[in-house]
Amino acid sequence: MQQSSTASRAESDERTCKIDRIAVEYDLGDIAEELGELWTREEERYSLRRLATHFNRRLLRAAMERNGMDVLEGEAENTYRLLTDDDVSVGTRTQARNRLRKQGVDIEAVESAFVSYQTVNRHLKGCLDAERPAEPDEDGVEKATQRIAALRNRTVVVTENTLSQLRSADEITLGDADVFVDITVTCADCGTHTTARELIADGGCDCE
Ligand SMILES: [Zn+2]
Ligand SMILES: [Zn+2]
């Protein structure tokens, strides 16, 4: 059970997901519902990753403002990038963290409050019961997912057979082995790195 340090948390027993908890803790208004809206609306739907980024930037901004920082336009976005982007050097990141710390921001608490796209996914499905309306090309997506799954299974079967032939021929030693195939995709533009299945389910990468 989560330890309850504020009264508002105690009254919301069924809403104990990280998103809801952090939204209350950092006074982020109705962002928990807003994520559902951004995910299901007709136009320009956000991907799960983009929703996580959206949430985390708001959280960072709130933490900065709470400590009396005058947060300029785009500053929270840039600071978030410095804290999280793979392309930022360790030195630059340390500088950004130190600057926040000097302003009184509990950077460790903020960073551990950041949410992943998996957390956003659980919140949307578990708390909001949100469902994305079917897109026109849903069939194409479904077929593509099946095609990749079939290819993946075939790779597993071929590998298993090949290994067991080698074992039968005493070419290799192998115990009770499991073959696991993971097809991953990396986008060189935005750095998204995920399995092909998740990428499709998530509507693609973070590129705008
Ligand atoms: Zn939730
Ligand atoms: Zn991308």
Distance CA 122, CA 115 (A): 11
- Better-scored residue on pLDDT, 143 or 70: 70
- For residue 122, report the distance from its CA to the centre of ligand 1, in Å: 7
Distance CA 20, CA 152 (A): 37
- For residue 198, report the distance from its CA to the centre of ligand 1, in Å: 21
pLDDT at residue 7 above 60?
Answer: no
Return all residues near 17 (Cβ < 8 A) that are at least 6 apart.
119, 122, 123, 126, 127
pLDDT at residue 5 above 50?
Answer: no
pLDDT at site 136 = 57
Task: Give the residue among 165, 55, 201 at the shortest CA–CA distance from 120.
Answer: 55
pLDDT tens across 58-116, in order? 999 999 999 999 999 999 999 999 999 888 999 999 999 999 999 999 999 999 999 99
- For residue 41, report the distance from its CA to the centre of ligand 2, in Å: 22
pLDDT at site 4 = 42
Give residue 2's pLDDT band: very low, low, confident or very high (50, 70, 90). very low
pLDDT at residue 149 above 50?
Answer: yes
pLDDT at site 86 = 84
pLDDT at site 203 = 84
Q: Give percent of the chain above pLDDT 90.
A: 62
pLDDT tens across 21-67, in order? 999 999 999 999 999 999 998 888 888 889 999 999 999 999 999 99
- Ligand 2 ion: Cβ-proximal residues, 5 Å cutoff: 187, 189-190, 205, 207
pLDDT at site 47 = 87
pLDDT at site 61 = 96
Looking at every residue in the chain, the average pLDDT score rounds to 88
pLDDT at site 71 = 93
- For residue 86, report the distance from its CA to the centre of ligand 1, in Å: 27
